Amino acid sequence: MSIINYAAKVINFKLVYYGPGMAGKTANLQFVHRCLPDDNRGNMISLATGDDRTLFFDFLPVSATSVRGFTTKFQLYTVPGQSRYNMTRKLVLRGVDGVVFVADSQWDRLKENVESLRNLNDNLREYRLDLATVPYVVQYNKRDLPDVAPIDYLEYTLNRGTRRVPAFEGVAVTGKGVFDTLNTLSRMVLLREFGQVQEGAS
């Protein structure tokens, strides 16, 4: 849930990158962090194991432009991909405003994608949220690799049902699709939350 400071006219939003291990969640944040001007980024905190997998979270406060007098700030997080760190995943999701589900496009990772998406919805329910209502987008990452599933198949597997959400092809290590993904989710969150800002400010 967004945190609104009416005195300072600042709205803080929390966006979480979720997905299986090594799908490219951290690579997304690293690319965003590299590309932002110094004035628009905070320090990125990364805790990783020896095999370079995120153990806890990456944290990146991003200052955005003003929306009708309110400065919007986004805090970007990733969750650990390994299932044994599910408690940390739940903690990172607390207070979430929007989710990027980062899927690994490779054929041999499809089962892990499905399990991670199911786990995301289960963990959201702990906070009385679900994928039918929370703003979220899907990124099909690693599209540069040779053995990837077709987008149509990934869409059928991971993005169907009662709600189909925006989806993007990505190569996070080079930046392809990274800002398209982030900008779309940011707009979705702002559209959803803007009524609360107006109501409270009136």
Which residues sit opposite 101 in a β-bridge? Answer: 18, 138
Of 147, 146, 154, 85, the residue nearest 114 (C-alpha): 154
- Predicted pLDDT at 51: 54
Residue matched to tokens 């299986």: 20
Q: Please, what sign has the CA dihedral across residues 100, 70, 195, 187?
A: negative
pTM metric for this prediction:
0.89
Domains of the chain by residue range: 3-201
pLDDT for 127: 96
Check residue 150 and give its pLDDT.
Answer: 98
Q: Which of 158, 44, 40 is nearest to 100 (CA)?
A: 158
**Helix axes of 86-93 and 110-125: crossing angle, nearest 10 degrees:** 50
What's the DSSP call for residue 82? S
Q: Give whole-number Cα distances, 15 to 49, 98, 139, 150, 182, in Å.
A: 23, 5, 14, 27, 9
Per-residue confidence (pLDDT) for residue 66, from 0 to 100: 72
User: According to the model, what pLDDT value does residue 60 have?
Assistant: 66
* CB neighbour list of residue 112: distance below 8 Å, 6 or more residues apart: 20, 21, 104
Residue 199 has a pLDDT of 38
Query: Angle 110-125/151-158 helices, nearest 10 degrees?
Result: 30
3-201 CATH: 3.40.50.300
Tens-binned pLDDT, residue by residue, of the chain (202 aa): 677 888 888 888 999 999 999 999 999 998 998 888 887 777 887 776 555 455 455 566 777 667 778 788 888 999 887 777 888 889 899 999 999 999 999 999 999 999 999 999 999 999 999 999 999 999 999 999 999 999 999 999 999 876 899 999 999 999 999 999 999 999 899 888 775 444 333 3
